[in-house]
Chains A and B, each alone.
Chain A
Amino acid sequence: MDKIVIEHLNLQYSDGTESLRDINLSIPAHAVSVLFGPAGGGKSSLLRCLNRLNDLTEVKVASGRILLDGENILDPKTDVIALRRRVGMVFARPVVLPMSMRQNLTYALELAGEKRRSRLEEAVERGLKLAALWDEVKDRLDEPAIALSGGQQQRLCLARVLAQQPEVILLDEPTSGLDPISTAKVEAALQELKKEYTLVLVPHSVQQAARTADFAAFFLQGELVEWAPGKEIFTHPQQQRTEDYVEGRFG
Chain B
Amino acid sequence: MTVKRSRMDRTLMQRLGFALMSLVAMLTIIPILAVIVYIVSKGAPAISWEFLSGFPHDGMRAGGILPAIVGTLYLTLGTAVFSVPLGIAAAIYLSEYARENWLTRAIRIAIINLAGIPSVVYGLFGLGLFVLFLKFGTSILAASLTLSIMTLPVIISASEEALRAVPQSFRTVSIALGGTRWQTIRRIVLPQALPGILTGVILGLERAAGETAPILFTGAAFFLPQLPHSPLDATMALPYHLFVISTQVPEMPIQIQYGTALVLLAFVLLMNVTATVIRSRARARRQW
Contacts and interface: CB of A to CB of B under 8 A. Distances in A.
Interface of A: 51, 53, 56, 81-82, 84-85, 88-89, 91, 93, 95, 97-99, 107-108, 111-112, 144-146, 157, 160-161, 164
B170 A111 contact: no
A237 B174 CA distance: 39
Given A82-B178, A88-B177, A98-B287, 12 more contacts: A53-B176, A89-B176, A91-B172, A91-B176, A95-B169, A95-B170, A95-B173, A98-B192, A107-B179, A144-B287, A145-B287, A161-B177
B53 interface: no
Given A98-B288, A144-B287, A111 B178 contact: yes
Given A93-B169, A98-B287, A88 B192 contact: no
A97 B176 contact: no
Most A CB contacts (10 A, CB to CB) among B167, B172, B173 go to: B173
B288 A164 contact: no
Contacts of B170: 95, 97-98
B172 A97 contact: no
Nearest to A145: B287
Contacts of B180: 81, 111
Contacts of B286: 98
B177 A111 contact: yes
B77 to A, nearest CB: 31
Nearest to B176: A89
B48 interface: no
Contacts of B176: 51, 53, 84, 88-89, 91
Nearest to B171: A56
B183 interface: yes
B209 to A, nearest CB: 33
A145 B180 CA distance: 23
B177 A98 contact: no
Given A111-B183, A146-B288, A85 B174 contact: no
A80 to B, nearest CB: 9
B165 interface: no
B28 to A, nearest CB: 36
Contacts, number: 63
A84 B169 contact: no
Nearest to A157: B173
A84 B178 contact: yes
B177 A164 contact: yes
A98 B188 contact: yes
B35 interface: no
B177 A81 contact: no
B269 interface: no
Contacts of B287: 98-99, 144-146
Most A CB contacts (10 A, CB to CB) among B169, B178, B192, B288 go to: B178
Contacts of B169: 91, 93, 95
19 contacts: A53-B176, A81-B178, A82-B178, A84-B175, A84-B176, A84-B178, A85-B178, A88-B176, A91-B176, A95-B169, A97-B170, A98-B287, A107-B174, A108-B178, A108-B179, A111-B177, A111-B180, A145-B287, A164-B177
A164 B175 CA distance: 13
B101 to A, nearest CB: 14
A85 to B, nearest CB: 4
Contact of A160 (B177, B183, B187): B177
A163 to B, nearest CB: 10
A97 B173 contact: yes
B223 to A, nearest CB: 52
Contacts of A81: 178-180
Interface in B178-205: 178-180, 183, 187-188, 192
A171 B221 CA distance: 67
